[in-house]
């Protein structure tokens, strides 16, 4: 993901962090006094949310691909509700079917500013996160997280948070030809990123949406994270089949994915099982919840 951008990832996954969060603050709230006077939704003023949603709608409605994405946002509960609900908490269990390490953590994601905190399922004292500016880790055992935690801090959000994570700038949308998937016609949108957007601007997504319900059905993507591909390039395209969508406080989110290598635009070899559980939103977190602990290590 990416480390800079207030809207989307690319898998690299883009550890998007809120590249435009400071800009948004200056555009929508000039003083702390104004913020205090606004009706609060969690830690975000309602006017800020309305302004961001209005701008996203205007931008997305200006292109055929954007219209598909906006329809999907509405079908999944609405962008305003997504931001108004507060931080998203869940257990995200990524289970490769080969010998690669399992990535299983409880995590809380600030969907407004793209910050994250993860806690090990096996050791509640082992944690890592992304503050919006830096990645950090706190663990007694160096093997507590046998994977790149900086890369993984926001990656789960950008695997399961579509279409909501596509509201930001630096995102390019292209409407592809409709496709048949599981016996239904799907609208298909390709997502790419402008140069300088996050840590892996060469990543892309290809999103499938049911043409009638506008709900997401599949996510295809590549990973081009430079730490994994130091000489450039990327891994082969993956195809994630979206499992049952569940209603989480008014927002429809996937309960899991079956990930395959893509073969001729369809699922090929099954390679990873992803379970997403214990999802809920929390608008009552303290302001310093996503800050790096004093005894943590900066990455």
Q: Are 19 and 7 in contact (CB under 8 A)?
A: no
Report CA Rg, the chain: 18
3-state class percentages of the chain: helix first, strand second, coil last, to nearest 5? 20, 35, 45
The CA-atom distances, in angstroms, between 198 and each of 47, 68, 174 are 27, 24, 20
- Residue 70 CA to residue 265 CA, distance in Å, equals 24
| Angle at alpha carbon of residue 24, lines to 21 and 25, rounded to 5° | 90
Choose among 244, 240, 241: nearest CA to 255: 244
pLDDT at residue 169, rounded to an integer? 81
- Taking residues 159-184, report their average pLDDT: 94
**CA 79 centroid distance within chain:** 14
Backbone phi, psi, residue 63, to 5°: -135, 155
Task: Place domain 21-298 in its CATH homologous superfamily.
Answer: Lipoprotein localisation LolA/LolB/LppX (2.50.20.10)
Q: What is the dihedral of CA 182, 77, 211, 174, to 10 degrees?
A: -100
**CA 66 centroid distance within chain:** 18
Question: pLDDT by residue (tens digit) across 201-246?
Answer: 578 999 999 999 999 999 999 886 645 545 655 678 999 999 999 9
Q: Say whether pLDDT at 35 is over 70.
A: no
Domain positions in the chain: 21-298
**CA 169 centroid distance within chain:** 14
pLDDT at residue 4, rounded to an integer? 37
Cβ neighbours of 172 (radius 10 Å): 13
Q: Say whether pLDDT at 2 is over 50.
A: no
- Residue 218 CA to residue 227 CA, distance in Å, equals 27
Extract the tokens encoding 291: 């800050």
**Which sign, positive or negative, has the C-alpha torsion 198, 204, 210, 212?**
positive
Q: Are 50 and 27 in contact (CB under 8 A)?
A: no
Residues constituting the chain:
299
Contacting residues for 197 by C-beta, under 8 A, at least 6 apart? 2, 4, 5, 10, 14, 19, 170, 171
Choose among 121, 195, 191, 132: nearest CA to 158: 191
Within 13 Å and on the Cβ side, how many CA atoms surround 239? 14
Is the pTM above the cut of 0.95? Answer: no
**CA 109 centroid distance within chain:** 9
pLDDT level of residue 11 (50, 70, 90 thresholds): very low
pLDDT at residue 216, rounded to an integer? 98
């Amino acid at each position: 993901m990416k480390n800079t951008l207030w809207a989307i990832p690319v898998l690299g996954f883009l550890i998007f962090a809120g590249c435009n969060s400071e800009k948004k603050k200056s555009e929508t709230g000039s003083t702390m006094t104004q913020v205090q006077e606004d009706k609060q939704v969690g830690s975000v003023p309602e006017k800020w949310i309305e302004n961001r949603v209005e701008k996203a709608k205007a931008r997305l409605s200006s292109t055929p691909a954007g219209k598909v994405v906006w329809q999907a946002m509405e079908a999944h509960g609405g962008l305003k509700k997504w931001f108004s609900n507060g931080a998203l908490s869940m257990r995200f269990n990524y289970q490769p079917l080969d010998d690669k390490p399992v990535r299983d953590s409880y995590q809380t994601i600030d969907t407004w500013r793209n910050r994250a905190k993860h806690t090990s399922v096996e050791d509640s004292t082992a944690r890592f996160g992304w503050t919006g500016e830096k990645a950090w880790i706190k663990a007694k055992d160096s093997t507590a997280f046998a994977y790149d935690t900086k890369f993984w801090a926001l990656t789960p959000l950008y695997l399961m948070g579509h279409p909501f994570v596509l509201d930001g700038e630096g995102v390019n949308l292209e409407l592809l030809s409709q496709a048949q998937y599981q016996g239904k016609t799907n609208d298909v949108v390709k997502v790419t990123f402008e140069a300088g957007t996050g840590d892996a601007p060469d990543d892309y997504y290809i999103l499938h949406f049911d043409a009638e319900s506008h709900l997401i059905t599949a996510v295809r993507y590549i990973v081009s994270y430079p730490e994994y591909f130091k000489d450039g390039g990327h891994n082969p395209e993956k195809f994630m089949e979206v499992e049952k969508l569940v209603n989480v406080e008014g927002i429809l989110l996937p309960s899991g994915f079956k990930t395959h290598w893509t073969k001729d635009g369809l699922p090929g070899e099954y390679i990873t099982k992803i379970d997403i559980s214990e999802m809920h939103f929390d608008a009552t977190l303290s302001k310093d919840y996503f800050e790096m602990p004093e005894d943590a290590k900066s990455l």
